Amino acid sequence: MSRIGKHPVSVPTGVDVQVNGQIVSAKGKLGQLSLTLIDDVAASLEDGKVVVKPRHESRRARMMWATARTLINNMVTGVDKGFKINLEINGVGYRAAASANELVLQLGYSHEIKYPIPEGITIKTEKPTTIAVSGFDRQKVGQVAAEIRGFRKPEPYKGKGVKYDTEVLIRKEGKKK
């Protein structure tokens, strides 16, 4: 039995969740998201909570049970509170600047990197060496943060590059004389 799937998703006040067959949609103050569930799981709305159950006892149904519950929970949390990922830039001359629709990164290459900000994502740079990616879709926020990090991954010797603020770099020792 799934330990995650058996817990219902509580719906906070201010969030409207609708279940129409295999389509679950959530609408809140930050936006609107919808999810189409696979045929192996079923969702229902019972006294202010979304309950996800497998349709049969196959291995795939049990696997997708917890996955569907987690995706619904991420939708409800996203339209209510939103998600945020912070990135740090380390390196001499490395910096970032955000405008209304693009992020300009200087990461030691011969040219600036201009990254267009996708719809539904907000990018802020309080300092030139910090980037805050936020939005209501958890998958999209994580994807944008990973793409920004991918422009210059942190290297293990000096730690130069773009890293998550929670990421711990394992540093290597340099050459010995």
Confidence of residue 2 (pLDDT cuts 50, 70, 90): low
Give the strand pairing for 83-90 and 16-20: unpaired
Confidence of residue 3 (pLDDT cuts 50, 70, 90): confident
Q: Are 108 and 91 in contact (CB under 8 A)?
A: yes
Give the residue among 150, 108, 107, 105 at the shortest CA–CA distance from 123: 105
φ and ψ of 43, to 5 deg: -120, 145
Which tokens sit at 81?
Answer: 């509170």
Q: Which fold has domain 9-80?
A: Outer Surface Protein A; domain 3 (3.90.930)
Mean pLDDT of 150-175: 92
Q: Domain extents for the chain? A: 9-80, 83-164
- Looking at domain 83-164, its CATH architecture is Alpha-Beta Complex (3.90)
Two domains, one topology: 9-80 and 83-164: yes
Q: What is the 3-state secondary structure (H, E, C) of 99-136?
A: CCCEEEEECCCCCCEEEECCCCEEEECCCCCEEEEEEC
For residue 139, the SS3 value is helix
State the DSSP code for 123.
E
Rg (CA), the chain: 21
pLDDT of 116-157, one tens digit each? 999 989 999 989 999 999 999 999 999 999 999 999 999 999
Mean pLDDT of 156-176: 91
Query: What are the distances in angstroms from CA 64 to CA 17, 50, 55, 131, 160?
Result: 20, 16, 11, 34, 39
Its pTM stands at 0.87
Side-chain half-sphere of 87: how many Cα atoms within 13 Å? 32
